[in-house]
Chains A and B, each alone.
Chain A
Amino acid sequence: MEGIANYLDSLIGGVDLTFYSIAIGGLLWGLFVLRPWDENANYNSALLEKTVNLIHFGSKALVITQLSKIGLKIWLMAVTLGKSPFPAFFNTVQFNAGLARATFAFALFLFIKQALKANLRSKTHWLVATAIVVPLVMAAAWLVHGASRLEDRGLLMALTVSHQIAAAAWVGGIFQILALWGLKKQNAIAEELWPLLLKRFSALGIVAVALLLVTGTPLAWYYIRTFQGFIGAGYGNLLMVKIMMMGLALGFAWINRQAVEEYFASRSLYALTARVPYYIEAETLILLTILFTAASLASQPPSVDIPHLTATWEEVLNMFHPRIPRWESPTHEALIAGEAGRVAIVGQVPSEAATAWSDYNHNISGIFLTVMSFFAMLSYSERFHRWARYWPVGFMGLGIFLFFRSDAESWPLGPIGFWDSTFNNGEILQHRIATFLVFMLGLYETRARVKADPGILPYLFPLMSAFGGMMLLAHSHVGFEAKTAFLIQVGHTLMGVFALILACGRWLELKLDAPGKNVAGFISVFALFQIGVILMFYREPLY
């Protein structure tokens, strides 16, 4: 249960940031973009209600998430320490600041329900809602990384909270734009509002990005300091991933801004309706992943604190060095024989069999994905499309391979029975679910690509890929061998980025018209190829 509690604890940070953004960013959207009190604006009730409902939802979800965070923390401590964390937990900053944050989020929820919804165009009500948010944001300062630092605490807390507000303005605004697009599609708002509000948000977005950089740069400098800390430790690595993803998100934002400018020059709505909404959807996937990565970043020890545990750039590069994939697996007996020594704390003996077993699993999985991506690329050719479009069948094969190889201590290879291992070990249960989902994903994606009218089935694959990438970036490796854990992590964070590109590419392939859809589709399967290559050359550090 400790594994599940720990995993949920690391995930809930990203969920929390998402709802925080929807609530806080939604209010900023109302104050600076929508400005509902503007008498000249052509807003109808549908638009104002939708806007406020989204903020209302964000505040409600934030209350639930914040209380869940406290509950999870209690659970985590109880299962990790093997005893009740009370009454000591009541005296922690975590409990008090968390409770305060939940209380102010609840106050916002109540105010929106009782007052703002009845006074959608009242500037005073919007300002009161914003005033309620101020203590909520301040309470959050005691829940961030900087709060536990021994030096420069106030500065770090202030910078982090400002960084969060900037991120919330961007992400919350994007959610409002998606809601606006929903209304536009239903012809529920005046036609000119879509380009107008996109233009206004563009200005807010630029301010948000500037604030992200102004606050993020000193934080990065404070927590990292050296080039080796940037590339050779988990904290620096996740920051690098954040920068890469922010570059992708900014790319979409820039394309959208260009489209808005073109509209005001030519008055042609084509790009604003046939492309921009889908770029915004892809941007949303990226921004959500950034939030989950940010939550993961907050659980990493800053590079500046672990100079003795950082890897050199040569060691990092070596993890991606091309080599012949491992074709032969050690025997199951050799693997099991080495396990006791490998996991021992005192008298630890690194197990070559365990490392080779893991390498084999990674490399063969890489071959699966590389071959699949090769056929996927071929499927874009008219000549090969008829049979190459069956490439997702490979996921089914991979699912079967993983089922046999992933938990070697349990059935069918190990002595522990199927049901016993599945329901008495949280990690094995998750592996079994994951293996089943890989198999099912292959089944559904094959159907999606073969059926004449697959309905919404094709959207499952990009959503699951984005979710997978998000999860990959949201959890970090452990533990006692920090440098080794980082060298494992560095490969999978890069795979997480490619999983996101895979998702966005496929999403745009499904949404855009030609030739954009073909370009996006090809980029998507090329990302799958990259994941395959990383896995194919993978070598686990011996420990």
Chain B
Amino acid sequence: MRFVPRILLVLTLAASQTAFGHAVVTHNSLKLKPVPVNQASQVELSFNSKVELDLSEVFLVSAGDVMKPVAASPGAKPGQVLLDLPALAPGEYAIKLKIFAADGHLSEDLLRFFVKEPK
């Protein structure tokens, strides 16, 4: 449980939590350009630092926390990454990122989003 590290460390002991590295997504295209229904699409992410894509992984998470790898490629600008999403049915999804920043920090991030039928 999350409780122990916070208590026991104070009492002179060590316990573990995942480190929160510093490569974070500062902008993503999901809000401005929603993922279309049943159609392959591309998501644009901007990081606050340079990232090593060869040492990073991106997953699409769907209902039941089923994870599928997603192809990621560098964008035109530094720190920009493009993700190729497959055609998705309406529902809730997430993009799970394991990113190795150029300063050596391996960090994880999560972007939740919905695929909705156009009104």
- Cα separation A482 to B94 with both chains bound (whole Å): 16
A461 to B103, CA, bound (A): 36
**What is the CA–CA distance of A426 and B16 in the complex, to the nearest angstrom?**
9
Task: Write out, one digit per residue, whether chain A residues 385-415 have a CB within 8 A of any chain B CB (1) or not (0).
Answer: 0000000000100100010011110000000
Whole-angstrom CA separation of A361 from B17 in the bound complex = 18
Using a CB-CB cutoff of 8 Å, which residues 74-113 of chain A contact chain B? 76-77, 80-81, 85, 88-89, 91-94, 98
Q: Is A217 an interface residue (CB 8 A)?
A: no
| Distance between Cα atoms of A301 and B7 in the complex (Å) | 25
Fill in one digit per residue for B55-72: 1 if any A CB lies within 8 Å of its CB, else 0. 101000111110000000
Is B20 in contact with A301, judged by CB distance below 8 angstroms?
Answer: yes
Interface of B is mostly: loop
How near does chain B come to A10, taking the closest CB pair, in angstroms?
4
Check A398–B11 contact: CB distance below 8 A: yes
Interface residues of B in 68-103 (CB under 8 A from A): 78-79, 92-94, 96, 98, 100-103
Closest to A492 in B: B6
Closest-CB distance, B54 to chain A (whole angstroms): 4
Q: Which A-chain residue is minimally distant from B6 (CB atoms)?
A: A492
Are B55 and A92 within 8 A (Cβ)? yes
> Would you call B7 and A365 a contact (CB within 8 A)?
yes
How far is it, in angstroms, between the C-alpha of A478 and the C-alpha of B6 when the chains are bound?
Answer: 13
Please report whether the interface of chain A is mostly helix, strand, loop or mixed according to DSSP.
helix
Nearest neighbor of A471 in chain B, beta-carbon distance: B14
Residues A495 and B10 in contact, CB atoms below 8 Å apart:
yes
Q: Give chain A residues whose Cβ lies under 8 Å from the Cβ of B22.
A: 145, 148, 298-302
Q: How far is the CA of A298 from the CA of B101 in the complex (A)?
A: 12
Counting residue pairs across A and B whose Cβ atoms lie within 8 Å, the total is: 227
Bin the interface of chain A by size. Answer: 35 or more
Q: Confirm or deny: A36 has a beta carbon within 8 angstroms of a beta carbon on chain B.
A: no
Q: Quick one: which of A93, A361, A468 contacts B12, CB cutoff 8 A?
A: A468
Which of B11, B19, B23, B101 is in CB contact (< 8 Å) with A9? B19
Question: Which residues of chain B have C-beta atoms less than 8 A from A468's C-beta?
Answer: 8-14
Do the beta carbons of A472 and B10 come within 8 Å of each other?
yes
Question: How far apart sit A147 and B50, CA to CA, in the bound complex (Å)?
Answer: 9
A73, A91, A344, A357: the one contacting B65 at CB < 8 Å is A344
List, in ascending order, chain B residues with CB within 8 A of A495's CB: 6, 10
Q: Of residues A407, A479, A485, A531, which shows the largest number of chain B Cβ atoms within 10 Å of its Cβ?
A: A479
Indicate if A27 sits at the interface (CB-CB under 8 A): no
Given contacts A299-B105, A358-B2, is CB(A148)–CB(B23) below 8 Å? Answer: yes
Asked if B11 contacts A7 (CB within 8 A), the reply is no
Measured CB to CB, the nearest residue on chain B to A468 is B12
Q: Distance (Å) between the CB of A485 and the closest chain B CB?
A: 7
Stretch of A174-182, A187-195, A431-439 that contacts chain B? A431-439
Question: How would residues 24 to 39 of chain B score, 1 for a CB under 8 Å from any chain A CB and 0 otherwise?
Answer: 1010000000000000
Q: In the bound complex, how far is the Cα of B7 from the Cα of A472, in angstroms?
A: 9
Tell which of B11, B55, B61 touches A89, judged by Cβ atoms closer than 8 Å.
B55
41-95 of chain A: CB within 8 A of chain B: 73, 76-77, 80-81, 85, 88-89, 91-94
A480 in the interface (beta carbon within 8 A): yes
Among residues of A, the one whose C-beta sits closest to the C-beta of B48 is A305
Q: Are A488 and B6 in contact (CB under 8 A)?
A: yes
On whether the beta carbons of A477 and B20 are closer than 8 Å, the reply is yes
- Is A456 close to B, CB under 8 A? no
Cβ-based interface call for B110 (8 A): yes
Given the known inter-chain contacts A406-B4, A431-B4, please indicate yes or no for A478 contacting B108, CB distance below 8 A: yes
- B44 contacts chain A at the CB level, 8 A cutoff: no
Find out whether the CB atom of B65 lies under 8 angstroms from the CB atom of A148. Answer: no
A362 contacts partner chain B, Cβ-Cβ < 8 Å? yes
A535–B7 CB distance below 8 A: yes
Q: Determine if B24 and A306 form an interchain contact, defined as CB atoms under 8 angstroms apart.
A: yes
In the complex, chain B residues whose CB is within 8 Å of the CB of A143: 103-104
Q: B109–A476 contact, CB under 8 A?
A: no
| Interchain CA distance A495-B98 in the complex, whole Å | 30
With a 10 A CB-CB cut-off, give which of B21, B49, B105 has the most chain A CB atoms: B105
Chain A 368-400 residues near chain B, CB threshold 8 A: 395, 398
A-B contact pairs, 27 of them (CB 8 A): A3-B16, A7-B17, A73-B106, A88-B55, A92-B104, A143-B103, A143-B104, A145-B103, A148-B50, A149-B49, A234-B20, A298-B105, A300-B20, A306-B26, A345-B65, A345-B96, A346-B63, A346-B93, A362-B7, A398-B11, A402-B7, A438-B11, A438-B13, A468-B8, A468-B12, A478-B19, A485-B20
- Which residues of A pack against B, CB within 8 Å? 2-4, 6-7, 9-10, 73, 76-77, 80-81, 85, 88-89, 91-94, 98, 143-150, 234, 298-302, 305-306, 344-347, 354, 357-358, 361-362, 365, 395, 398, 402, 405-408, 426-427, 430-431, 433-435, 437-438, 441, 461, 464-465, 467-469, 471-472, 475-480, 482, 485, 488, 491-492, 495-496, 498-499, 531, 535, 540
